[in-house]
């Protein structure tokens, strides 16, 4: 029988640390980052820290399991760029079993040498018990107990990672090629690792529809593995293309960067921070002369709300922003990473480098941009100015994704228009507004039957917009949300969008109506979902929706007989006075 584990909430009191420093003659500032279960907290800074550093701060963590590990990283610095760090890990088995624990644990430097100790106390409150993070429980219950290899023929290995392997596969019924990321559940030993997989799937569903984001086609899970079926990108990594060519022309670099930054703008508009932007995470769809670029690997990405601050250092050293090194950052860090990519595209090497992580971080914090060495004298001033705006060390004055797309270099020679890109949610709501009442009701039915993994991103967005937590969005709340994302609309247009999304006519847009109005078109077009929606209106299940059936189904919406006749006339292609399944599907798929 699999060992039981407990899940619940954890309060950690960081008491003190001692003997972390050798040279007592130098004044240092010190702080500690406490992390567990995908959440990190930064302590107060102890100014002029001595031999013993006292904090006496308590931090709260949700969804902690007995398999989780508490991580402590102490950082000491003379100046913002001159810092040293040391760390320790605390297993939570005893705290989760007994309800509390108090420990003094050895702290290790970067070379693994013990240099002192940290004093911590913990209080745990259980909320549930289970069989383990991957034993006896499904990681993704929506896709549980499904056999991937019934639908796909396994091919060659195209990639390997820490937790699994990616294969090129062929779909048996269509002979189309895809990539399948096979993740070994045996290697997921902590709840944090399980949650990383769950979050990656939810974010990929949430970002679906953008032409330059790799599409998650299907998900399977059996007793041993999770399978993520995605677009097969056979053109190789952007990084390899850069190495092969040495450098890109400004025209080539501009085209690539518009794609990369548009992906970042889409992520930010959808409430997602990427946190691991680098050339290796962009693949070419094929080996044609002008291949489509696809963004992959959202394993370090996270949902966020405007103003949210992250504290954990993630990403590849060459591409992290200064505020990431300082452990206090937001979505602006993604733009810094884009600036590093653009710099590399134009010269072939990163702007900030060093022999090790510490040296790289020092360069990121202090080194000036080099625009004197070859080939920079040959690069245009607008290109260099665009890079300066993206690699501004102050995140508050750094260019946003939208501002970067509007920069004169990005739209030089008519390559890019000056028109602002619309939020995906705003675009979806405009399309929803144009639909008839039958299509809107059908969209609500489909939205109501979508798996949680596919809509949790939209749920996060709804919560962020619904600032008074009333369960409904007013026109004013929607307008404020648009302004925070850099999209302003006239008051009457905002009111019209909310009114059109308000299917039940109560004056606001509730959660179900918001889902129906904002889900991506691709989610409305799946055959199994269209059948569920059609059968809701086809009351006698004879394959056609009649005038009477439509009137009965829409009775609560206040649509009169003339309105019903208008809907049927709009959708009924063969003129028989009814809506058959094919006509219904054409209506739902019509953009």
> What proportions of the chain, in percent to the nearest 5, are helix, strand and coil?
40, 25, 35
Q: What is the pLDDT averaged over residues 267-292?
A: 89
Regarding whether 443 and 335 lie in a shared domain, the answer is no
What is the 3-state secondary structure of 170-197? EECCCCCEEEEEEEEHHHCCCHHHHHHH
Closest CA to 273 of 221, 215, 334: 334
Regarding whether 259 and 207 lie in a shared domain, the answer is no
Q: What is the pLDDT averaged over residues 100-111?
A: 82
Measured distance CA(356)–CA(103) in Å, rounded = 33
Statement: residue 2 has pLDDT above 60: no
- Residue 181 assigned to a binding site: yes
Domain boundary among 130, 151, 169: 130
Regarding whether 105 and 148 lie in a shared domain, the answer is no
Is there a contact between 214 and 294 (Cβ–Cβ < 8 Å)?
yes
Instruction: Read off the pLDDT of residues 166-183 as tens digits, 9 standing for 90 and up.
Output: 999 999 999 999 999 999
Q: How far is CA 508 from CA 470, 502, 505, 515, 579, in A?
A: 10, 6, 8, 13, 30
Q: Which of 67-81, 372-386, 544-558 has the lowest mean pLDDT?
A: 67-81
Statement: residue 136 has pLDDT above 70: no
CATH number at residue 512: 1.10.238.10
Q: How far is CA 124 from CA 8, 36, 60, 308, 425, in A?
A: 7, 13, 10, 26, 40
- To the nearest whole number, what is the mean pLDDT of the chain? 84
Q: Tokens for 11?
A: 């309060």
Please tell me the predicted confidence (pLDDT) of residue 566: 85
Regarding whether 339 and 403 lie in a shared domain, the answer is yes
Measured distance CA(281)–CA(296) in Å, rounded = 5
Domain boundary among 130, 162, 197: 130
Measured distance CA(19)–CA(52) in Å, rounded = 7
Regarding whether 217 and 84 lie in a shared domain, the answer is no
Q: Is residue 421 a part of any domain in this protein? A: no
Q: What is the pLDDT averaged over residues 245-270?
A: 87
Measured distance CA(397)–CA(478) in Å, rounded = 26
Can you say whether the dihedral through the CA atoms of 376, 382, 385, 391 is positive or negative?
negative
Regarding whether 397 and 331 lie in a shared domain, the answer is yes
Using pLDDT thresholds of 50, 70 and 90, give the confidence band for residue 82.
low
Q: What is the pLDDT averaged over residues 253-282?
A: 92
What is the 3-state secondary structure of 63-114? EEECCCEEEEEEEEECCCCCEEEEEEEEECHHHHHHCEEEEEEEEECCCCCE
Regarding whether 260 and 353 lie in a shared domain, the answer is yes
Measured distance CA(241)–CA(180) in Å, rounded = 23
Please tell me the predicted confidence (pLDDT) of residue 559: 66
Angle at 18 between CA 16 and CA 23, to 5 degrees: 135
Instruction: Read off the pLDDT of residues 462-520 as tens digits, 9 standing for 90 and up.
Output: 888 888 878 888 888 888 888 777 677 778 888 888 888 877 777 788 888 888 888 77
Regarding whether 451 and 543 lie in a shared domain, the answer is yes
Using pLDDT thresholds of 50, 70 and 90, give the confidence band for residue 418.
very low
Is there a contact between 544 and 432 (Cβ–Cβ < 8 Å)?
no
Statement: residue 420 has pLDDT above 50: no
Domain boundary among 355, 386, 414: 414
Q: Is residue 222 a part of any domain in this protein? A: yes
Measured distance CA(547)–CA(331) in Å, rounded = 51
CATH number at residue 51: 2.60.40.150
Closest CA to 196 of 224, 228, 168: 228
Q: Is residue 262 a part of any domain in this protein? A: yes
Please tell me the predicted confidence (pLDDT) of residue 435: 78
Instruction: Read off the pLDDT of residues 517-539 as tens digits, 9 standing for 90 and up.
Output: 887 777 777 788 888 889 888 88
Regarding whether 584 and 443 lie in a shared domain, the answer is yes
Domain range for 116 is 5-130
Q: Which residues are catalytic?
A: 276
The residue ranking higher by pLDDT, 32 or 448, is 32
Q: How far is CA 444 from CA 203, 224, 423, 532, in A?
A: 21, 35, 21, 11
Bond prior to 375 in cis (omega within 30° of 0)? yes
Regarding whether 584 and 462 lie in a shared domain, the answer is yes
Residues 6+ apart with CB under 8 A from 211: 292
CATH number at residue 179: 3.30.200.20
Statement: residue 414 has pLDDT above 50: no
Q: Is residue 136 a part of any domain in this protein? A: no
Closest CA to 359 of 548, 83, 17: 83
Please tell me the predicted confidence (pLDDT) of residue 128: 67
Regarding whether 397 and 248 lie in a shared domain, the answer is yes
Closest CA to 465 of 451, 485, 445: 485
Statement: residue 4 has pLDDT above 70: no
DSSP state of 397: T
Using pLDDT thresholds of 50, 70 and 90, give the confidence band for residue 376.
very high
Statement: residue 3 has pLDDT above 50: no
Q: What is the pLDDT averaged over residues 134-163?
A: 85
What is the arrangement of strands in the sheet containing 114-130, beginning at the earlier edge strand? 39-42, 29-36, 69-77, 83-91, 100-108, 114-130, 5-18, 52-65
Please tell me the predicted confidence (pLDDT) of residue 442: 84
Q: What is the pLDDT averaged over residues 356-375?
A: 92
Q: Is residue 260 a part of any domain in this protein? A: yes
Measured distance CA(544)–CA(402) in Å, rounded = 47
Which residues are bridge partners to 302 per DSSP? Answer: 273
Please give the share of the chain, as a percent, with pLDDT higher than 70.
Answer: 90
Regarding whether 124 and 161 lie in a shared domain, the answer is no
The residue ranking higher by pLDDT, 16 or 180, is 180
pTM: 0.71
Q: Which of 125-134, 142-151, 430-439 has the lowest mean pLDDT?
A: 125-134
Q: How many structural domains are present in the chain?
A: 4
Burial class (CB in 10 A: 0-12, 13-18, 19+), 49: buried
Residues 6+ apart with CB under 8 A from 276: 297, 299, 300, 301, 314, 315, 316, 319
Is there a contact between 323 and 310 (Cβ–Cβ < 8 Å)?
no
Q: Is residue 148 a part of any domain in this protein? A: yes
Q: Is residue 424 a part of any domain in this protein? A: no
Q: Is residue 486 a part of any domain in this protein? A: yes
Please tell me the predicted confidence (pLDDT) of residue 124: 92
Statement: residue 157 has pLDDT above 90: yes
Instruction: Read off the pLDDT of residues 349-359 as tens digits, 9 standing for 90 and up.
Output: 899 988 888 89
């Amino acid at each position: 029988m699999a060992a039981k584990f407990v899940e619940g909430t954890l309060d950690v009191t960081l008491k003190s640390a001692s003997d972390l420093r050798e040279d007592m003659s130098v004044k240092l500032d010190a702080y500690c980052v406490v992390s567990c279960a995908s959440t990190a907290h930064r302590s107060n800074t102890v100014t002029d820290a001595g031999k013993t550093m006292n904090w006496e701060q308590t931090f709260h963590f949700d969804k902690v399991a007995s398999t989780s590990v508490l991580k402590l990283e102490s950082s000491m610095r003379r100046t913002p760029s001159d810092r040293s760090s040391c760390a320790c890990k605390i297993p939570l088995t005893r705290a989760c079993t007994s309800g509390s624990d108090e420990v003094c644990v050895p702290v290790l430097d970067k070379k693994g040498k013990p240099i002192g100790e940290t004093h911590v106390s913990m209080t745990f409150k259980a909320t549930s018990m289970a069989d383990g993070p991957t034993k006896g429980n499904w990681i993704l219950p929506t896709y549980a107990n499904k056999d991937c290899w019934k639908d796909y023929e396994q091919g060659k290995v195209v990639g390997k990672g820490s937790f699994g392997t990616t294969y090129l596969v062929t779909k048996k019924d269509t002979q189309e090629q895809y990539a399948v990321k096979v993740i070994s559940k045996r290697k997921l030993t902590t709840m944090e690792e399980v949650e990383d997989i769950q979050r990656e799937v939810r974010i990929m569903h949430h970002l679906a529809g953008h032409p330059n984001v790799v599409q998650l086609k299907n998900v399977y899970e059996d007793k041993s593995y999770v399978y993520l079926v995605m677009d097969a990108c056979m053109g190789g990594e952007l990084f390899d293309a850069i190495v092969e060519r040495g450098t890109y022309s400004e025209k080539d670099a501009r085209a690539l960067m518009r794609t990369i930054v548009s992906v970042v703008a889409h992520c930010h508009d959808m409430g997602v921070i990427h946190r691991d932007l680098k050339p290796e995470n962009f693949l070419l769809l094929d080996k044609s002369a002008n291949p489509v670029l696809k963004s992959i690997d959202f394993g370090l990405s996270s949902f966020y709300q405007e103003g949210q601050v992250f504290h954990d250092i993630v990403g590849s050293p060459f591409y992290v922003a200064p505020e990431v090194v300082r452990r206090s950052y937001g979505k602006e860090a993604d733009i810094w990473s884009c600036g590093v990519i653009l710099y590399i595209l134009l010269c072939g090497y990163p702007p900030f480098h060093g022999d090790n992580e510490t040296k790289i971080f020092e360069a990121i914090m202090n080194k000036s941009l080099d625009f004197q060495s070859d080939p920079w004298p040959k690069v245009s001033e607008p290109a260099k100015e665009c890079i300066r705006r993206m690699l501004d060390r102050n995140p508050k004055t750094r260019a946003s994704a939208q501002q970067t797309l509007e920069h004169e270099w990005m739209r030089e020679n008519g390559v890019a228009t000056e028109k602002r890109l619309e939020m995906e949610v705003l675009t979806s709501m405009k399309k929803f507004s144009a639909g008839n009442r039958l299509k809107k009701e059908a969209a609500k039915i489909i939205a109501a039957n979508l798996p949680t993994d596919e809509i949790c991103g939209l749920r996060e967005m709804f919560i962020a917009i619904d600032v008074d937590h009333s369960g409904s969005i007013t026109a004013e709340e929607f307008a404020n949300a648009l302004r925070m994302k850099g999209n302003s609309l006239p008051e009457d247009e905002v009111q019209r969008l909310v009114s059109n999304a308000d299917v039940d006519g109560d004056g606001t847009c509730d959660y179900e109506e918001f889902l129906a109005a904002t889900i991506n078109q691709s989610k409305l077009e799946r055959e199994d979902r269209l059948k569920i929606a059609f059968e809701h209106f086809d009351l006698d299940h004879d394959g056609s929706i009649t005038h009477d059936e439509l009137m009965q189904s829409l009775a609560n919406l206040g649509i009169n007989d003339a309105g019903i006749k208008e809907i049927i006339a709009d959708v009924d292609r063969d003129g028989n006075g009814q809506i058959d399944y094919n006509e219904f599907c054409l209506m739902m798929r019509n953009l």
